[in-house]
Amino acid sequence: MLDNKQIFQQSLVNHIYFAGSIRSFCTTIGLTFFKNNQAYIDRAIAIGRRATEIINQALLYTDKSLANEVLKNEVLYTEYTSSINKLTEELFDIDLEGRISEDKKILETRNNINYDNTVMLQIDELNNQGLALVNDFKSFVSEIKNKLNSEDLFSYLYPDFFNYMYEEISVYGRDIDRIISKEDYTTFYLNEYAYYFNELLRKSSEYIRGFLDTSHQDVFDMATYYIGSFANLTERYLKTGNNDTLSDETKRLVINYKSFVTSLIEKILRSELYFITPAIVLDNFLTNINAYLFIIDYAKVLSN
């Protein structure tokens, strides 16, 4: 059972990472609609602002030790986030760098926290706000996906990419429920996370292949390799569950995949590669990879 400190820290890490994903997703959604779909753009902006409010609250509570963990593991920002944002700002009329500056300014105000009843009530409220955000975001992307499938709406994103967003944020909701019930990362939860993150990375490989400039056969082939590799891992986790051998193999594959994704980002920044989606999609893939590596290492600590 989680104690107050664990509830506090796991809540904040989840909000920083997953609300960051929602904010990134909402930015992407807004940039891939035509202007005649302004109502959907406005809804994406509004949900993105709510995600930012949750991130800001989490950052205000984040003490120095936890802030260092978040920054070191790059589950909120990666080393490429600023460059990717500047490139996106050049292509679209949007301010992303100002948002990063605000987040960093909040981090600088962090201080030590006492896990008393007042603070824990505030964390409970933040978790409830997170659950409400999860439900509203999932309803939003489900509505978009259904309208895309019925051809009542057009976006540059594939309809299945909205499933990807739905599935990633569903993990957020389940994790908040786990923390509210004071359950730690049991074997059941760690197996579930391994399954979902393998699926997310497999699907991100599919999107890389699908969004890619077709002149790059080498990238297409590598994406195909990772699709098969993560699909294989998913099947093995379903059959055997997590174990040290499988965890070590998974970590090696995820590290290699991270190198692949970072090479793509670097090529995008050098204008050597083109995707049909905003470049921030690749940065979100990278934060997912970092979060999975964070969980793999955490699971190792628990098992020792």
pLDDT at 255 over 80: yes
Q: 139 versus 245: which is more confidently predicted? A: 139
Residue 182 pLDDT: 92
For the chain, the distance separating the N- and C-terminal CA atoms, rounded to the nearest angstrom, is: 18
State the Rg of the chain over Cα: 19
- For residue 60, what pLDDT band results from cuts at 50, 70 and 90? confident
Given a cut of 80, whether residue 158 has pLDDT beyond it is yes
Q: Which of 194, 196, 204 is nearest to 261 (CA)?
A: 204
User: Phi and psi (nearest 5°) for 275?
Assistant: -120, 155
pLDDT on residue 93? 66
Structure tokens at 283: 């940065």
- Cβ atoms of 221 and 169 within 8 Å: the answer is no
Please compute the mean of the pLDDT values over residues 236-252 and round it to a whole number: 84
CA distances from 24 to 56, 63, 76, 99 (A): 15, 24, 10, 11
State the Cα–Cα distance between residues 201 and 286, nearest whole angstrom: 10
Query: What pLDDT does residue 181 have?
Result: 93
- Residue 15: count of CB within 10 angstroms of its CB: 28
Helix (H) or strand (E) holding 172: helix 159-180
Q: Write the DSSP symbol of residue 259.
A: H
Spatial distance between the Cα atoms of 137 and 45, rounded to a whole number of angstroms: 11
Residue 243 scores a pLDDT above 90: no
pLDDT tens column, 171-192 = 999 999 999 999 887 777 878 8
Residue 163: pLDDT above 70? yes
pLDDT of residue 226: 97
Q: Which residue has the higher pLDDT, 254 or 93?
A: 254
- pLDDT at res. 35: 78
Query: With the C-alpha atoms ordered 168, 159, 130, 23, is the resulting torsion angle positive or negative?
Result: positive
Confidence of residue 223 (pLDDT cuts 50, 70, 90): very high
Of 243 and 25, the one with more pLDDT: 25
What's the confidence (pLDDT) of residue 63? Answer: 79
* pLDDT band per the 50, 70, 90 thresholds, residue 302: low
Angstrom CA distances, 242 to 236, 239, 252, stand at: 9, 9, 15
> 137 or 64: whose pLDDT is higher?
137
Q: How does residue 109 score in pLDDT terms, banded at 50, 70 and 90?
A: low
Tens-place pLDDT, residues 4-34: 988 998 999 899 999 999 999 999 998 888 8
Check: CB of residue 84 under 8 Å from CB of residue 282: yes
User: What is residue 176's predicted lDDT score, i.e. its pLDDT?
Assistant: 94
The dihedrals phi and psi of 179, each to the nearest 5 degrees, come to -70, -40
The pLDDT value recorded for residue 256 is: 97
Q: Which of 94-98, 135-139, 192-196, 284-288 has the lowest mean pLDDT?
A: 94-98
pLDDT at 275 over 90: no
Taking only the tens place, the pLDDT of each residue in 191-213 is 888 888 999 999 999 999 988 88
